Structure 1
Amino acid sequence: SMIQVAVKLMEQIPQEELEDTAIILADERLLLPLLDAIPDNIAHFNVTMGLSLDQLPLSAFVYDIIKMHTEATEDGYYYKGVVNILESSFAFVLIDSDSRKLVKYIKENNLIYVTPSSFDEVIEDSILNKIMTPVHNVGELIKLIESVLLELKTKLLQEENRRLEIEQLLGITEVVQNLSTIIDNNEEIKDLKTVAYLYKQLVPLKNLDFIGEPVRGLQIMGLLETRALDYKNTIMLSVNEGILPAGKSTASYISNDMKYQFALPTYSEKDSVYAYHFYRLLHRVNHAAFIYNTEGDTLGGGEKSRFLTQLETDPNSKHIVSHQHYIFKNSAVKEELIVVEKEPSYFERLQQIASSGFSPSALTSYVRNPIDFYASKILRISQMEDVEENIAANTMGSIIHEALDKLYQPYVNKILIKEDFDKIKKQIKQELDVAYQECYKSDSTPLGKNKIIYEVSLHYIKMMVQSDLDLVISGKELIIKSVERKLEAVIDVPEIGKVKIHGMVDRIDQLDGKLRIIDYKSGATAKGNVGIDPENFDVIMDDYGKAKAFQVLMYTYLYSHNEPFTEASAGIISFKNFDQGYIPFGFKAGRSYKEKMIDVAVLQDFEEVLFVLIKELFNKDIPLTEKPV
């Protein structure tokens, strides 16, 4: 906000007075944001101050490479360090669009540790191979940095308007040369972490000097650069206590007592220097603006400089002092709901889906928010998944599904007996390990939070197997008809024509002759999510809270097109609230829901809703309207 105030004041300066105007930065860190905000009325400006190299992006890029090697383990480089390097603009200079491709590759393959060979199948790039090659000593690390800087120089010299980057490069190259000299002269430096530490110490000591036209336009400088200069107008930023003067925060090994003893300059002398420069500026000035931050967000952050207080209270001062408070209000952003008209391209893609198949999740995503459906199914914008260090809930669900499918596969269409479960129980651990490796693409063994999630998955699978065993022990006849069954059907929707629908049913079984169509869920499910009011069947088309009811009805509808049956029960087994057991589709009865067997009448009601939903998707007069989720 101080920059915004300065920009406002700059816009008011007449063109002829620009050469007599100085912008003074008490805090030199504001230089880059200020340069970014200079208004259009200022065509020429001259920067007569240095900028510490540690504030520039190239120093961060080089430090990231050093850090990646210092933190390397036997498993490889930790992915966050590699991603930091690849997302830098300098990585883009070195390996062009391959940098984006590799970030995507890391995230899609869930690589927690990246090895030098990780990218072999994606790209072959010598400079990337060089960066990724493990270093064995400090000399090799320095050589690696030097070769990266040399490669950068070659690439940047081939491009236009890269003067600032080339200047940064020269500065960093000098720092690395200094670093190399220190290491050559000190044989005891053997730890890579020492290189990182020394680099961090040396970079702030080097300044990037700006070369400008000193007699043209606006002057931008630090306070010490103003010595013996006079300006008509001055705008000074960060006139806050703790910045001007800086106070006692002088980094020194020599204590203040020692400084007094040996007549060395202390912080009070430094304050005097700043005071002299501050008041010297006011000698011949016509108009001076001092901007300070009143936000008390840091200790003393909202305190104006003592120099300003002195100005205001000095009885001999001839200056006319006026105060202005600037408040930048953040106006609330009013979010308009998105409305997308259905273009011909929408119908082309919809026709493709109609021939390849609508799934229950695609249709319920439309019920939840038509814009989500539009983004994921029509535009096919997939959310770029982040690397999962901790197994996400949906991945955990996949692991449990996968393991249960494999466990029950050998026992399909067989009346289960107690002995079968003895064999199944022995297989649990083995099948879970296979499922874990398949779903969670990482070679590392489950550790930390993942170990907990692995154990929770194991617990859920054991509970599921035990509950089936309990049914068998209690004398019930249990036959697993199928696991992970893909069901498809082509339906004839009035006014639309043939449309394909499909879905994957986790389990179809028969309990004492009763057909059950079951979907596993790793999240919590309540009876109300799987049940509806028979008087209001349309609710499954409007309320996403009933998505699970929609899902099980659609699975049953699909099954009816594949296998004839009189009636079936369909429901959810939720691992999160396993104590509820099998939660069947039900009709509202009083305050609760009572299981409702799905027969021809229920399927007919569902078909009507399904047709209405599909017709709405194809209706060009109904735009896709965002729902607040």
Structure 2
Amino acid sequence: MQNSFLNRIITELLFQNKDLSQFTIVLPGKRPVVFIKRILAEKEYSGLLPDFLTIEELIQKIAGQQQIQGIALWLFAFEVYRNIYEEDFSNFLKWFQTLLKDWDDILKFADDEREVLDYMFAEERIKNWGENLGEHTETRKRNLDFWRKMNVFLPELKKKLHEKGWATSGMIHKIARENIENFTQNTQDKLVFCGFNAFTPVEESLVRNLLQWDKAQCFFQADQYYIQDERQEAGKFLRKHRNWKEFNENRDFKWIDAEFSHPKNIKVFEVSGNITQTKVLPEIFKEIHSENLSDTAVVLLDENLLPASLDALNSVENLNITMGFPLKNLAFSNAVKHIFYIQKQLEKNTGSYYYNDILAVLEALPNDKGDAEIISKFNAEITERNMVYLSASRLQEMLGNLSFFELFQKAENAPQYLDLLVKFCLKLKFKNLDDIQFENISHFEKSFRIIKNQISTYTFPIKMETLEVLINNLVNTETIDFKGEPLQGLQIMGLLETRLLNFKNVIMLSVNEGKLPLGNSQNTYLPFDVREKHKLHTFLENDSIYAYHFYRLIQESENVYLMYNALTSGVNTGEKSRFITQLEMENPHRIEEIIIENTSEPVDAQPIKIIKTSSVLERLEEWKESVSASHLTGYLYDPVQFYLNYVLKTRESDEIEEELSQRNYGNLVHFSLQVLYERIKGKVLTEKDLHDLITQIDEALNISIEKLKHQPEFYQRGMNFVHKSIAKRVVENIIQQDLKLVKEGNRLEIIELEKEFENLEFFLDDDKADSVKFRGFIDRIDRLNGTLRVIDYKTGKAKNLNLTFVARGNNKTETLLMDDKFKQALQLCIYLYYIQNQPDLHVSQVEAGIWSFAEVNSGVQVLNFNDGDLDSAMISIKNLILDILNPEKAFEEKLKADFEF
């Protein structure tokens, strides 16, 4: 790894004094310390080490105040606020964190914080602002009310924090400002400021005062490329620093180099997809020799890409991660969020658990064998019974033996529940966990302890909803920091972690506008003009800071690889960073642009073919013993799926339906009709019979719901309530249609319902040596005015029930029903074949038809033979079966183009 800048600083300091313990080195962050120590070892330095401080630590030392932040500050601030105004804690946190950032900015940058608050409360300014938005009274009132409260609350918060000896980051800067002169006059330290770009006013005042007293040195890492060009925002702050009066003929501005103009290999990759960027990494590493890995950095501008990047780099032996990983992306964090959501619902006495909340916890937690068996059984049962909502007693019955079941029980109070969670985390840490899981669980164990200790000092009630808000803010804002051996191997880091460090090879991902620079996306209640007027940083200053980090990182590199996601999706606009555009237009180096397409085309566009081996043919012989119409129509739709379902006998696992599926909607109507008509089967129907059935529909629906193994609660809300209502209307309309027939003087008799048949032999050759055996269910068989009707209920509309058989060649092979669009007709033909072979049912007049739930009032739509008859249809069905059994014909997947729409 190149460390020329740090090396030069150490060389300079050793030239000044062989004993570096005289110096205090001030850095932007702690990470460069380990590299400074290595440089000292390489130079065989044997004295005492200098002190190392970050600029924040130095400011805090000067202020002499203890910083308060995070949960401790949120709770303290709310206690102050609720003593002035009424507010719910969850609502308070929605705006306080953004306000706190603004307040700290005001304290750090503004000359007078009171002036900014007064300005924000100025009615005329808010009036003009509201009118510019096209809104008037309500907008103005809300904003006036907000800033009126803030003008009271923020000074009071500041006062109360002072009384406790605590301070926010902004307050520490404010206090340090008052102590700078005294500190600079009295300190005996020799301070060395290394690699800074932008300072806050307090930091700048400190550095300049120390320079004036000749108690400090300042080393900047700048390059002529962006310092000399006034248009380059990367040099904006450094140009100002160079003009300080403290830099003169006696004290040079150190250092401005000309590294950026040295030859570089720069490649820009336009990649379609976010994760796809990580797939390019192995290709890039083919250009980088393994001995150069320690001089290579992979910089992730989107921290969410870390897992995918690690997967892509699994072949790299030595790899060091120096960045934070978002807590919200880890499984245990997700489980904790759901645990607190469940507790909030219990606190509201909802009386039931949502299955997905329970599963989210069960699936995310490490489980031993005993718990895994209980969870597996639970999954199977809720899937079988389609249990979307579970009562407390049912959950106890199903999961009561789970080792951590008490987490799902209603908490007595917040401190008791936090204790329970701490014990649970401790127990989990003794399981076989990977490093990330262990860190994730340890982080929450610590946080639960802190929250419990913090809330114990406050008088306002801590509800589970309050805890949920605290936990969600914790999960959404915090990261787990990875630390490793930064002196060897490939480095994976965020952009800020690269400060003061240089690499020969730099690979940067997500170089998109909005990621680099962040642009005008900061959360703030202070408009741009207010920030500008009171000298607070706007997005323009932030862009300049990130521009410097970007150019500084690549100025000493030799190979630069920049990737951006060109795919527009979600919040990503697919726009490359303007820093890339600036490089392309202004920099002296040639840039190679590469486009990486992420197509959705299948790897093999050829249809799947499954040859009928001897074992497949044996399975087909077994299949012939039980053939249904759905098997045949399934083959017509997709032969490969037929093979999977009926030859291999595989099936997709059931899933819980949050909304009633079309299949189960049809079952609900089927079962209800069966329940009702069973009561009047075998008799000639009267008007009274049918009127009575109408009054029994609700009861029949409830019986059907039980038969489906669904919970009644499933149908009590949302779309499922609508589906049940529609099913009730369909059942009633079918009864009304029968009632209409009876009222018109027709004789109607129900013969069979859900009639099951099997072992119905059908011969495939003239010698009757080869046959299949049909099976099936006929929804309804009735007799209308002497005509036997075979009726099949369908959820969808009736289609293609008029058959015209045409001879194909001299052998008159019939193939009409070997077409998926005639699947309803095919099914009815098999039912008619069954009737034809039942002497007890056979009558001279018989017909088959479809009764569609989508067209109930059209009644039974009858199958018609325009040319040919049932015998012709059965020849067509025989040929279809022979096609399935043909050993020379493979099961071949039907591609989209094969289907007719």
> 1:428 aligns to what?
697
1: CA distance, partners of 2:326 / 2:686: 76
Cα deviation, 1:514-560, whole Å, max 9, x if unaligned, reads 1111112221113x2x2311336844541121111111121121223
User: Cα distance 1:350–1:150, how it changes in 2: closer, same or farther (>3 A)?
Assistant: farther
Write the distance in 1 (CA, Å) between the matches of 2:400 and 2:286: 51
Structure 1 equivalent of residue 710 of structure 2: 441
* Partner residue in 2 for 1:462: 732
Task: Give the Å deviation of 1:202.
Answer: 2.0
Q: Are 1:534 and 2:805 matched, yes or no?
A: yes
> Aligned residue for 2:892?
625
1:328 aligns with 2:576: no
8 Å contact kept, 1:540–1:549: no
Residues 461-510 of structure 1, C-alpha deviations (whole Å, 9 max, x = no match): 22222222222222222222222222234416347646432221121111
Distance 1:93 1:262 in 2: 62
Deviations 1:260-285 (Å, cap 9, x if unpaired)?
Answer: 79877665665554444334334533
Rounded to whole Å, the distance in 2 between the matches of 1:422 and 1:282 is 85
Change (3 A) 1:451 1:32: closer
Report the Cα offset of residue 35 of structure 1.
1.8
Would the aligned equivalents of 1:171 and 1:206 in 2 still touch at CA under 8 Å? Answer: no
1:166-218 per-position Cα deviation (integer Å, ceiling 9, x unaligned): 22222232222223233333342433222222112223554423232222222
How many equivalent pairs are there?
607
How far residue 400 of structure 1 moved from its aligned partner, in angstroms, is 1.9
| Residue 820 of structure 2 is aligned to residue 544 of structure 1 | yes
Which of 38, 51, 57 is the aligned partner of 2:331? Answer: 57
User: Does the aligned pair in 1 maintain the 2:803–2:864 contact within 8 Å?
Assistant: yes
Residue 518 in 1 paired to residue 791 in 2? yes
Change (3 A) 1:559 1:31: same
Q: 1:248 to 1:411 in 2, by over 3 A?
A: closer
Pair 1:609–1:489, CA change in 2 (3 A):
farther
Query: Is contact 2:791–2:849 with CA below 8 Å preserved after alignment?
Result: yes
1:70 corresponds to 2:344: yes
Q: What pairs with 1:53-452 in structure 2 (closer than 5 Å)? A: 53-72=327-346, 74-88=350-364, 90=366, 95-96=371-372, 99-118=375-394, 125-156=401-432, 162-251=434-523, 270-295=542-567, 301-305=573-577, 307=579, 320-330=589-599, 332-333=601-602, 334-355=604-625, 357-439=626-708, 441-444=710-713, 445-452=715-722
* Greater alpha carbon shift after TM alignment, 412-421 vs 268-277: 268-277
- Secondary structure, counterpart of 2:450 in structure 1: helix
Q: 1:254 to 1:143 in 2, by over 3 A?
A: farther
- Given candidates 8, 11, 17, the residue that maps to 2:292 is 17
Q: 1:300 to 1:224 in 2, by over 3 A?
A: same
Q: Which letter does structure 2 place at the counterpart of 1:420?
A: D
- Taking the aligned partners of 1:621 and 1:466, their CA distance within structure 2 comes to 53
Q: 2:744 aligns with which of 436, 452, 474?
A: 474
Residue 83 to residue 379, structure 1, CA distance change in 2 (3 Å)? farther
C-alpha distance in 1, partners of 2:873/2:554? 83
Does residue 491 of the first structure (1) align with residue 765 of the second (2)? no
2:645 aligns to what SS in structure 1?
helix
**2-side partners of 1:294 and 1:470: how far apart?**
64
The CA deviation at 1:130 is 2.9
- TM-score normalised per structure 2: 0.61
Secondary structure at the residue paired with 2:456? helix
Give the aligned CA root-mean-square deviation in angstroms: 3.4
Normalising by structure 1, report the TM-score: 0.85
Higher mean C-alpha displacement, 483-492 vs 471-480: 483-492
Distance 1:4 1:425, change over 3 A: closer
Contact persistence 1:519–1:572 (CA under 8 A):
yes
Conserved 8 A contact 2:326-2:479: yes
**How much has 1:147 moved relative to structure 2?**
3.9
Within-5 A mapping of 1:41-52: 42-52=316-326
2-side partners of 1:456 and 1:300: how far apart?
A: 42
1:135-184, Cα deviation, whole Å (9 max, x unpaired): 34333442443344233212225xxxx22322222223222222323333
Unaligned runs of 5+ in 1: 590-600
CA distance in 1 between partners of 2:590 and 2:557 (Å): 13
The gaps in structure 2 that reach 5 residues or longer are 1-270, 272-276, 808-812
Highest CA radius of gyration, 1 or 2? 2
- Kept in 2: contact 1:23–1:221 (CA 8 A): yes
SS of the equivalent of 1:156 reads coil
Where does 1:549-568 land on structure 2 (aligned, <5 Å)? 549-564=825-840, 565-567=842-844, 568=846
One-letter amino acid of the counterpart of residue 225, structure 1: E
Cα deviation for residue 343 of structure 1 reads 4.1
- CA distance in 2 between counterparts of 1:148 and 1:343 reads 55
**Inter-partner Cα distance in structure 1 for 2:497 and 2:559:** 19
Give the Cα separation in 1 of the matches to 2:870 and 2:342.
59
Candidates 754, 778, 787, aligned match of 1:505? 778
Cα deviation for residue 78 of structure 1 reads 0.9
- Quick one: distance in 2 between partners of 1:393 and 1:476? 33
